[in-house]
């Protein structure tokens, strides 16, 4: 599997193109710089799970849209969450689902991070 952050960067670039946004446009919405967006897209910088949540909201996508298919949680996890909270209004259910995905995505990022090579260490 390619590096998770290169995959995420590719998805950011794709969604930005779909929305016909420049890096500067997205940077303004994210309250960051176009340079940061560029570095996310190339995998040089690593967006946090909080950044991914903001991006998901801007691009009207679930946070899992930034992850490879094999990393996404099983549908049953969402179904059990929804069955336990079925009497909530749709907006609250959507926000609850986003929060659960936020937590799962954070855990997935921790597991998938490629360790950086240490200086002076041989392979």
The pLDDT of residue 85 is above 60: yes
Whole domain around residue 48: which residue ranges? 4-112
Give yes or no for a contact between 40 and 8, defined as CB atoms under 8 angstroms apart: yes
Share of the chain above pLDDT 90, in %: 50
Per-residue pLDDT averaged across 98-107, rounded? 85
Looking at the domain assignment, is residue 103 inside a domain? Answer: yes
Give yes or no for a contact between 52 and 61, defined as CB atoms under 8 angstroms apart: no
The pLDDT of residue 79 is above 80: no
DSSP conformation letters of 11-79: HHHHHHHHTT--HHHHHHHHTS-HHHHHHHHHTSS---HHHHHHHHHHTT--GGGGS-GGGSPPHHHHH
Q: What are phi and psi of 41, to 5 degrees?
A: -65, -30
Choice between 87 and 7, residue whose per-residue pLDDT is larger: 7
pTM of this prediction?
0.74
Choice between 103 and 21, residue whose per-residue pLDDT is larger: 21
The pLDDT of residue 12 is above 90: yes
Q: How many domains does the chain have?
A: 1
pLDDT digits (tens, 9 = 90+) for 51-72: 999 999 999 999 989 998 877 6
Residue 65: predicted pLDDT: 92
| CATH code for the domain of 106 | 1.10.260.40
Residue 8: predicted pLDDT: 95
pLDDT digits (tens, 9 = 90+) for 33-54: 999 999 999 999 999 999 999 9
Give the single-character DSSP code of 121. Answer: -
Looking at the domain assignment, is residue 123 inside a domain? Answer: no
Looking at the domain assignment, is residue 88 inside a domain? Answer: yes
Residue 76: predicted pLDDT: 66
Distance separating alpha carbons of residues 1 and 20, to the nearest angstrom: 28
Looking at the domain assignment, is residue 121 inside a domain? Answer: no
Q: On the CB side of 73, how many CA atoms lie within 13 Å of its CA?
A: 22
């Amino acid at each position: 599997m390619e590096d998770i952050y290169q995959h995420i960067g590719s998805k950011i670039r794709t969604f930005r193109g779909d929305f016909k946004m420049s890096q500067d446009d997205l940077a303004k919405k994210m309250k960051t710089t176009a340079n940061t967006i560029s570095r996310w897209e190339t995998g040089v910088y690593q967006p946090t799970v909080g950044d991914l949540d903001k991006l998901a909201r801007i691009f009207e996508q679930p946070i899992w849209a930034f992850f490879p298919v094999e990393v996404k949680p099983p549908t049953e996890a969402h179904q059990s969450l929804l069955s336990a909270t079925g009497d909530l209004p749709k907006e609250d259910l959507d926000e609850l689902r986003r929060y659960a995905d936020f937590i799962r995505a954070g855990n997935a990022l921790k597991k998938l991070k490629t360790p950086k090579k240490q200086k002076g260490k041989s392979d």
